[in-house]
Structure 1
Amino acid sequence: MKANKQTRLVLEIKPSGMGKERAVKIVDAAVALVKALQAEQYVVYISFDYNMMLRLKQLVPNAPMQYLEGDKSPAQLKADGIMGLDYHYKVFQKNASWIQEAKKAGMVLNSWTINEPALMDWFLENEFDFITTNEPELLLKKQKESIRKNR
């Protein structure tokens, strides 16, 4: 961590099927571990569980966090102080207006899992902050092509 200038740890907190109390304990333990390791500045929290996201917001209000489920609009997320959308690509294709809504609100846009070249082009054209892929070499090639094309 001492030599790190740009790499982030994306810490996904998995939903618990054992009730809200268990979910709170999981979030509390994850945040305590991050603090014990003095890694706060390196962590981006993500989760499919909205209540876990709200608990994170209580414990670490300024931490970067992105919601994964895809069932909340940018306005809903922003109202709760969650400034990142990390949705499956089909959610953004179905709700394309959310892209500009999120950008206007200063929110982070991420999508997963983009492996097809045409999808990569679409997300690059829409200027997403992050694209999750199993094909990083292809995405980097597409990104370079997109930069050359837009010069």
Structure 2
Amino acid sequence: MAHTPVNHPARPIYRAIGGLTGLYLVAFGVLGLIASAGNEVLAQDDTTVIGQGTNVGFSLLSLLLGGAVLAGTVIGRNLDVVINQWLAYLIMALSLAGLAFIRTEANIFNFTVATVIVLMVVGLVLLMVGMYGKVGTDEEKEAWQKARLVL
């Protein structure tokens, strides 16, 4: 993708932001598991963590997604770029689906409006991190610079 920056000067900052986002998802998952312990996996009740609705199922999903983001951040080598971009799209689609089903029986993850907003922000942050974290050779950076100047 010629339009994606290669070796962006702020990529260490973006990588750190991605790691912090992964840590947030893991922390939310752990707190959600603690708060919803003893409930059904897909319970639709008033369990909230950090102002967001959750249940055991969504807490486990948050742990899984956060672990994937953290693993990508630790491994690096552009694997974090791929993981962050794909998970960003997945999380944003999940938040939009949650918004569509928020007042129905299909709200299996016990979403609230706050949960939807936070998930959308997390997805956008991961997308930004994925777009500016790419590392490449000098030739790839030069090709990106030339493509950027053409526009």
Q: TM-score, normalised by structure 1?
A: 0.27
The structure number with the bigger radius of gyration is 2
Compare the two structures and name the one with the higher helix fraction: 2
Compare the two structures and name the one with the higher strand fraction: 1
Q: Which has the higher contact order (CA 8 A, sep 6+)?
A: 2
